[in-house]
A and B are shown apart, each in its own frame.
Chain A
Amino acid sequence: MNARAPLIELDGVRKRYNVGRPNEAEVLHGISLALHAGEFAALIGPSGSGKSTLLNIIGLLETMTEGRYRIQGEEVSGLDDAGLTLKRRAALGFVFQFHHLLPAFSALENVTLPALMREGRVSRVQREHAREVLAAMGLEGAMHKRPGELSGGMQQRVAIARALVMRPPLVLADEPTGNLDRHSSDEVFALMRRMHAELGTSFLIVTHDPRLAERCDRIVELVDGRIERDAARTP
């Protein structure tokens, strides 16, 4: 295990839905997990095991019911919506299964959106950087195309470019290859590995695909809302 301070650290995190109602249900039972800078980890588990809920809590899209959660050493459980949003901006990038690009914006505009959102404008430097990231994804010829004009694999590469463009320390990917064919899936995964190697960005990837999970440096397996296995990949 890495001796440096963890990038994220969860301690006894529980998540209950419908609290106080007859149908109250706990989906995460005291999860404790730390992820260090530069890690490339897979989060696996059967459907309904709580992977997406855990990823949403880590991504500050949902709040936990109990426990402690620190990002870059800062406790986030006391933050209000504005505080969580700013933290999400600063520390996290997202890649979703269904690409989730904004259809009204071109590939380049989708990638420059985070800068536009933060500063109200896109500088020439930021635009050039976005072009470079897209080019690194092999999308030189598709920068001005709308998502609807791109293949699934290309859309996912745009989504990865968008997640990486502001250089967040951690990218959370929820089934990033779940909607792609094997070839595209391998391409996208290889791209994430390359970005991890080149930029040092940490990745936490939720996947159902054991073939891809086995190619991650660390595998965290969730079963029925509990961590069943947390192990480094055996070479």
Chain B
Amino acid sequence: MFDSLGFEWRVALRFLREGRMQTLLIVVGVAAGVAVVTYISALISGLQRNTLEKTLGAQPHVTLSAPDDAVLPPAAPASGSAAMLQTQPRAQRPRSIVNWQALVPVLEAMPAVSAVSPMVAGAGLALRGEASRSIALVGVELERYDRIVGLRGKVSEGEARLGPGDAILGRDLASDLGVRVGDRVAVVVAGPGGSVSDSARVTALVDLGVRELNRRTVIVPLRAAQSLVGLPGGATNLDLTLADVWSAAALSEELARRYPYKVESWQQLNAQLVSALNAQSVSTALIRGVVMIVVVLGIASVLVVSVVQKRREIGILRAMGATQGQVLRVFLLQGAMVGAAGSLLGVLLAVALIWAFTTFVRGSDGLPLFSITLAPDLALRIALLATACGVLAAVAPARRAAALDPAQAIRL
């Protein structure tokens, strides 16, 4: 079988086998580098995915709402005269998106959009006996809203149902009010024409993943919220979920250009989170880069030493008729083999590290902190990159070997 391998493969393999300890050390070095890069990539990717899931699990990717009320500028003063103006910003009242019913199917038809849900949002109070809590009132159509935030998956008690007179409460709010599933709770919303109140039966308690939301959220049917907020037939927001969360910024820009509404992406609403994710990504890329440079330098240094050690053999091969190209390829192949072997070992090591992390590192609740998986394409990309680095590292030593003067090399 060995005879079918080309001259370069065979000589490269033998050279590596001959310097066994040297080869072993550099393969282990490459493996360590690849393991670090793979593990960190998987860890950061898992952490970011987990953070995004937690953040976006309770909010839409893009929100359309009516534009803010603005003070109209006064007429320009006559030429030659000056006017001193002080403008008081207008108080924002609940307003509906104009013609939202016609807009929903248009948005749903967009390829990037996977779900659209109309919502009436307002502020109010929830009352139960002597207890009262300020609330964020959310009026939705349950089926649509479920596709935005996966509400049914967040039910901690009861069954998610939003018939007329039903309500779903955040878990902590129910606890504050002393409410259980099946109890009634009063909801009061103050408006310009006085307070409007309604009574609702609690069908389910939900854990939205964020304590503040759990302490304030009351979800009622869309129609009930329209009555409470004073927007009959209206919707204050249209919530959108996208197939690709990272396309939200671009889509919101496009929608803002197309429609006279206020359009906000989750990135705009979570600018700090996005900055943190970007900082993580940049840091990961830097670590990857530095580790790969170390890998390249490690392989290169070993091969440079190998070229010096094997000068005589190179001279003999050249005297026997090996071309400069053949000698060059012998050393490039050594770099590739070291890179490939190190990559394979490194990926296996990374799998072991990931297994150790998910098995032994637990949160205070005894559950894994977050899930890390090594995507096959990520492992393959890193392995190919490390192999390419091996070849790159071998370029200088290989050129040096190929350029050796055979007569001088033999004399040494």
Does B357 touch A at the CB level, under 8 Å? Answer: no
| B312 in contact with A85 (CB, 8 Å) | no
Q: Given A100-B316, A100-B410, are A82 and B6 neighbors across the interface (CB < 8 Å)?
A: no
**What residues of A have a CB within 8 angstroms of the CB of B325 in the complex?**
82
- Which residues between 88 and 111 of chain A lie within 8 Å of chain B, taking CB atoms? 88-89, 94, 96, 100-105
Does A180 touch B at the CB level, under 8 Å? Answer: no
| A85 in contact with B323 (CB, 8 Å) | yes
| A102 in contact with B323 (CB, 8 Å) | no
| A117 in contact with B326 (CB, 8 Å) | yes
Chain B interface secondary structure, helix, strand, loop or mixed? Answer: helix
**What residues of A have a CB within 8 angstroms of the CB of B316 in the complex?**
96, 100-102
**What residues of B have a CB within 8 angstroms of the CB of A56 in the complex?**
407
**What residues of A have a CB within 8 angstroms of the CB of B326 in the complex?**
117
**What residues of B have a CB within 8 angstroms of the CB of A104 in the complex?**
14-15, 17-18
| B318 in contact with A85 (CB, 8 Å) | yes
* Residue from B325, B405, B411 with most neighbouring chain A CB atoms (10 Å): B411
Question: How many of B's residues come within 8 Å of A, CB to CB?
Answer: 29
Q: Given A56-B407, A116-B10, are A88 and B324 neighbors across the interface (CB < 8 Å)?
A: no
Pick the residue among A59, A61, A100, A117 that contacts B312 (CB under 8 A).
A100
Does B317 touch A at the CB level, under 8 Å? Answer: yes
Does B186 touch A at the CB level, under 8 Å? Answer: no
Pick the residue among A89, A105, A121, A127 that contacts B321 (CB under 8 A).
A89
| A116 in contact with B324 (CB, 8 Å) | no
Question: How many of A's residues come within 8 Å of B, CB to CB?
Answer: 29
Interface string of B1-18 (1 = CB under 8 A from A): 001111100100011011
A17 CA to B7 CA, complexed, in Å = 34
**B18 closest partner in A (C-beta):** A104
- Which residues between 306 and 329 of chain B lie within 8 Å of chain A, taking CB atoms? 312-313, 315-326
**A62 closest partner in B (C-beta):** B407
Pick the residue among B14, B322, B410 that contacts A117 (CB under 8 A).
B322
| B410 in contact with A96 (CB, 8 Å) | yes
Does B170 touch A at the CB level, under 8 Å? Answer: no
Does A198 touch B at the CB level, under 8 Å? Answer: no
| B407 in contact with A82 (CB, 8 Å) | no
A interface residues with partner B (beta carbon < 8 Å): 52, 56, 59, 61-62, 81-82, 85-86, 88-89, 94, 96, 100-105, 113-114, 116-118, 120-122, 127, 162
6 A–B contacts, CB within 8 A, in A order: A85-B321, A89-B320, A89-B321, A121-B3, A121-B4, A127-B3
